[in-house]
Structure formats: structure tokens, C-alpha cells
Amino acid sequence: MLMDLVEKVDKVSGMSTYPTTVDREPLSANGANGANGNGPIALEQSLVAPRPLASVSTLEPREYTEHHDDADSAIPPVRTIVLDRAPRPVAPPAQRESIRLASAAGPKRLELDSVSVSYGHKQAVKSVSLPIHQGEVLALIGPSGCGKTTLLRTLNRLTELVPSSARGGRILLDGDDVDDLPDTRLRARVSMVFQQPNPFPMSIFDNVAFALREQSRKRPGRRALEPQVIDALKRAALYDEVADDLGRPALRLSGGQQQRLCIARAIALRPEVLLLDEPCSALDPISTGVIEDLIHELRRDLAIVMVTHNLAQARRVADKVAFMYMGDLVEYGTTQQVFEEPRATRTRDYVQGAFG
């Protein structure tokens, strides 16, 4: 039910169908927008005009409004910036990489055995077989249209919601055929986070509690759910930033915080596998760094499969890489092997940027 709702939100518009314009001013004349259309106002501001924000140093919630009446000016129109906490410094990528430890592959969680998917006559995924281990991040890479998202969504049977789709082969979750599991149960064990942050139009607390209530026969009250909600927010590296007001509307969070809330919602039920479809593509570099660190932490407890177009990100975050091309799995191996000693010419051309 939760996944169906999330899926509908994602499918209808490619982003949240809920109003995401809370507190947003009209776009600037040049059409510049936040990174994802619902990103933090401060980010929009920094993208469209590097105004002197350095003077803002308080931790007290304050509002800054700038007015520019000159229609010919290159400066965008009125912007309101609300800062309620100090920015959190993030280590530069090179430093983060150096503190990352090599993966310790745990038990096999998912096993794909000759998985094929077609939409009508079009075959989108062709006989893919690979294992997915706890303790590892598997990055699916490859040019647009090669079947990454289709393969990802097939792992928790979201693809079957497309009427023209058909699947062959077997997918085993901890040895059980996913076809034998009720879809809600499967999607609690193999949960998904989409490209665009899509929190529900409710409080931070209720976003996470929603997932927990969905899986519970009784409707547990707030007090009963609080420990699990807080635990999920902590594991998603969001709690410290929102602890003072969990009743705050989720849509008022920044884009990066919204995505971490979606991750908290997805991991609240302690899934064995987390599926991420380009989770950072709508985010700014700082939010991306925070989420990459989070992914790195989370992989200890679960298996993570992440689709990314960003090869540098795959190198930073993934332990294993699967390169797909026109529905085929061309190469699967450790990140180092795929990037530094690719076996297939096509893989080498792709990772060296010869085509994209």
C-alpha cells in the first residue's frame, strides 16, 4: 500500500503530486529553479544569484527578504530565505573516500536468475543474473534507456504495475521466490526510494509512522511508534536536524532533508534490501555528499542497489558495479575492476566517457 502510493506519486508526474511550493516565490524570469523544483529556498537563491549570504550568521530562525524592483536588472525578483540552523560542513569527496572502509560482504540477500522484462514486444532487460549481498552497495550504470530502472523496479515487483510488462526468470529473496510473497510484504522487505523526494503532505513524524502503521494490524498510537520513528530518522541521518519539531510539515524541509526523510520512511520497517533510483540527481552537491555518507553507513545493515548516471558517484559509493547496455548485463564486478580493468570494450568505452 505504501509502495503503491509512493509509486503513484512517482509515476504520475515524475515527482511528488503533492504541493511542493510551500513558501516558494515565483521562479525568476530566466526560469531558474531549485535543483528539483522543491528544494530549499536558500539553494534556489544560491543557484540564481550568488548574493552576499555571508552576513547571515545567526542560529535563530530569521527571515531574509530581498526586493529588486528594477525590471531590467539581471537580479531575480523577491526571494525569501529562512535559515533555522547553521549549515553542516561536509568533508570534501576525496576526504570522505579516504575514510571509507572496504565493504565486508555479508549474506546473499537477493539472487537474480535469468531475469528478463519486456513491455509489450520491447525487451527492456535481457536475462540478467547476479547476486546482491548485504554489506554492499551495487551500482547499476549504463546509458539512458538501457533498463536500469526497469531492473531495479522488478526487484520488488513494481514493474508488474505496468499493464504491458511481463517478466521471466526468478528473483530469490533470502532463498524465497519473490513471486510467492504478498506484494506489500515484499515491498516492506525490499523498499524503494525514488529520484525525486516525495514525502507525503503530512508531518515529519507521520511520514515515517505511516509506513509503520501500514504494516501493523492495529493502528498504533504516536507514543507506541515514537521509538521506531526516532530510530529510523537517526539511521537516515536526519534526526539531529529535525528533533526539535517532528510535527513540522515534511514539505517544508529542504530537498536533501526530504530525500533523507524518504529514506527514513523506507528503512523504518527494517528492510533487507534498499533500492535507490538516482537518489541524488535532484540534489545539490552538499546534500548529495550527506546522502552518499548515509548510503555508506546503511549498507552495514542491508543490501543496497542504486541506479546512478554519475560515474564518479558510483566510484565513490559502490562496492560492486553492474554495467548494462540495451537490456544486457555487459559486466558485473567490483567497482575497482569495472572502472580500472573492464573486461568488455563497451564497458571501457562507457566508463571512459566515450558515450553516455
Which stretch, 30-38, 58-66, 144-152, 287-295, contacts ligand ATP (CB under 6 A)? 144-152
Site residues for Mg ion, window 233-262 (CB under 5 A)? none
Based on the shown chain and the rule CB under 5 A, indicate whether residue 149 belongs to the binding site for Mg ion.
yes
Q: Residue 70: CA atoms inside 13 Å, Cβ hemisphere, count?
A: 4
Closest of 265, 325, 329, 292 to residue 137, by C-alpha: 292
Burial degree of 33 (CB within 10 A; 0-12, 13-18, 19+):
middle
Based on the shown chain and the rule CB under 5 A, indicate whether residue 154 belongs to the binding site for Mg ion.
no
Which stretch, 12-20, 147-155, 158-166, 308-316, contacts Mg ion (CB under 5 A)? 147-155
Based on the shown chain and the rule CB under 5 A, indicate whether residue 308 belongs to the binding site for Mg ion.
no
d(CA 207, CA 122): 37
Using CB under 6 A as the binding criterion, the count of chain residues that bind ligand ATP stands at 13
d(CA 215, CA 300): 24
Based on the shown chain and the rule CB under 6 A, indicate whether residue 305 belongs to the binding site for ligand ATP.
no
Burial degree of 327 (CB within 10 A; 0-12, 13-18, 19+):
buried
Q: Which is nearer to ligand ATP, 194 or 339 (CB)?
A: 194
Using CB under 6 A, which of 144, 182, 227, 355 touches ligand ATP? 144
Using CB under 6 A, which of 16, 36, 134, 150 touches ligand ATP? 150
Contact between 117 and 157 (Cβ < 8 Å): no
Residue 83 C-alpha cell reads as: 535559515
- State in angstroms the smallest separation of the CB of 277 from ligand ATP: 8
d(CA 25, CA 4): 32
294 binds, among ligand ATP, Mg ion, none (CB under 5 to 8 A by kind): none
Q: Which is nearer to ligand ATP, 39 or 147 (CB)?
A: 147
